[in-house]
Amino acid sequence: MTFEVLAEPPIPEWIVRVTVTGTGFTITSMPSVARVGSVPVEGVLEDAGGLGFIGYLREVPADGAHLFVGKVAGALQDTGFAFEPGIV
């Protein structure tokens, strides 16, 4: 998982890009949803090969905030990955 503060975001409010890679992502007709702590990941674009996704945050998450992912906003699973300020 990487975070990048964007100098020229695709939408002015999307100030941080989140890139998530790994295994076990399933492509279905239902879109993936995610959040980092309490900050929703917006504009989620899944990798066609099921190897992850990219998305955008409107604010920098709190130190130690965990990444949650899922297919339904109410059923997100904690990945155990935590945000660290030094990785922005």
Q: What percent of the chain has pLDDT over 70?
A: 91
Nearest to 44 by CA among 62, 80, 71: 71
Cα 56-62-67 angle, rounded to 5 deg: 55
Domain boundaries, the chain: 2-74
Confidence of residue 74 (pLDDT cuts 50, 70, 90): low
pTM for this entry: 0.87
Which one is predicted more confidently, 19 or 75?
19
Q: What CA–CA distance (Å, rounded) separates 62 from 56? A: 15
Tokens of residue 16, six digits: 């941080």
55's tokens: 């998305």
**CA terminus-to-terminus distance, the chain:** 11
- pLDDT tens digits, one per residue of 12-22: 999 999 999 88
Q: Are 36 and 57 in contact, with CB atoms under 8 Å apart?
A: yes
Mean pLDDT of 32-48: 92
